Amino acid sequence: MKIYAFEVREDEKEYFDELSGIPGIELELHSEELTMEHIQTLENGCGVSILGMYSYRKPELDLMKKQGVLCLSTRTIGYNHIDVDYARSIGLHVCNSRYDPHGVADYTLMMILLCLRNYKQALWRTQVNDFSLTGLIGRELKDLTVGIIGTGQIGRTVIRELSGFGCRILAYDSFEDPGTKEIAQYVPLKTLYRESHIISLHVPLTSETYHMINADTLSMMKKGVVLINCARGALTDIKTLISGIESEHIGALGLDCMEYEEDIVHKDLRTDILSNRDMAYLRQFKNVIHTQHMAFYTDSAVKSMVHCGVRGLLEMAQGQPCATQLC
């Protein structure tokens, strides 16, 4: 079976090489995105592995089906860049990937602590030999209530890691995990908004969760709330984040992703103009920490993403059970 992999980074290549010896597969790696032009070159009966920086909707999926693509795999947990419902309707199999949740959970906890201890300001000051303490006083987790929205694998891991800090932990999910109930309290979403000093998002991006942090939901939150998003940028309305920071209703933001980041993240734009005006404005505030969508980025996770993606393609093509199959 021919398997094409697109958007392949240098750090992924060694893990693809580990799979090249599997009998019956031929791997072809490309660093560029899978565009319409590339789809036209795909062989009949192939599988395709992608990342999440390009959208695959009806035109792209129709062309894949016409070319004879059997299955599509995204080397990410999130799959909002693929119209899974339409892929299902045309008989194109799709799967996502899984990786150990500790990398994102650790990163989330780091973001919380950096926000609570005013780390961005402290770092700026030391770089210009300002070692004063004025304005840098922080808060301790044991005195605060943390709200976790979404208790899937990552959300549950964040809760377990937080439990060692002695803070009160609230949780919200449409499905209440029995194990999580032992260390966190499930509450209605509005209660979580009202009572949490820190809120961290761990849900997929769907039509229901799009802009779940907006002007209305922010108005329910405590003044000075710390918001953490290491999931998907469009869970939050960027205009609301800006107004919340300007009004000081939001005390700090820890963002590993931001709305409309698709043409920016994972690229070196040092000599370019940043095309996202809202992003450029928001990230310059002293209490906004913004990183390049890298919470997932550990050696263990990258290996799992590559291996899971390729194996998912093989399983779907052979009609075998695939644990990560979406359609």
pLDDT top residue among 20 and 312: 312
Active site residue 139: no
- Provide the 10 A C-beta neighbour count for residue 195: 16
**Residue 84 clears pLDDT 90, i.e. is over it:** yes
Active site residue 88: no
Q: Which of 259, 293, 311, 315 is catalytic?
A: 293
CA distance 142 to 145: 8
**Residue 24 clears pLDDT 90, i.e. is over it:** no
Q: Which of 261, 290, 311, 315 is catalytic?
A: 261
217: exposed, middle or buried (Cβ count in 10 Å: 0-12, 13-18, 19+)? middle
Contacts of 308 (CB under 8 A, 6+ apart): 75, 97, 98, 99, 324
Sheet containing 93-95, strands listed edge to edge, beginning at the edge strand earlier in sequence: 26-29, 2-5, 47-50, 71-74, 93-95
* Confidence at residue 262, expressed as pLDDT on a 0 to 100 scale: 84
Confidence of residue 52 (pLDDT cuts 50, 70, 90): confident
* Confidence at residue 263, expressed as pLDDT on a 0 to 100 scale: 83
Specify the CATH class of 102-290 in words: alpha beta
Question: What are the residue boundaries of the structural domains of the chain, listed by start?
Answer: 2-99+299-317, 102-290
The residue length of the chain stands at 327
* Confidence at residue 238, expressed as pLDDT on a 0 to 100 scale: 98
Active site residue 38: no
3-class DSSP string for the chain: CEEEECCCCHHHHHHHHHHCCCCCCEEEECCCCCCHHHHCCCCCCCEEEECCCCCECHHHHHHHHHHCCCEEEECCCCCCCECHHHHHHCCCEEECCCCCCHHHHHHHHHHHHHHHCCHHHHHHHHHCCCCCCCCCCCCCHHHCEEEEECCCHHHHHHHHHHHHHCCEEEEECCCCCCCHHHCCEECCHHHHHHHCCEEEECCCCCCCCCCCECHHHHHHCCCCEEEEECCCHHHECHHHHHHHHHHCCEEEEEECCCCCCCCCCCCCCCCCCCCCHHHHHHCCCCCEEECCCCCCCCHHHHHHHHHHHHHHHHHHHCCCCCCCECC
Specify the CATH class of 2-99+299-317 in words: alpha beta
Global pTM value:
0.93
Task: Report yes or no: 297 and 103 within 8 Å, Cβ to Cβ.
Answer: yes
Q: Which of 232, 259, 290, 315 is catalytic?
A: 232
Q: Lowest-pLDDT range, 98-107, 174-183, 271-280? A: 271-280
Note whether 2-99+299-317 and 102-290 share their fold.
yes
* Confidence at residue 105, expressed as pLDDT on a 0 to 100 scale: 98
Question: Could you give the dihedral angle defined by the CA atoms of residues 47, 52, 55 and 56, in that order, rounded to the nearest 10 degrees?
Answer: 20
Count CA atoms within 13 Å of residue 127 on its CB side: 6
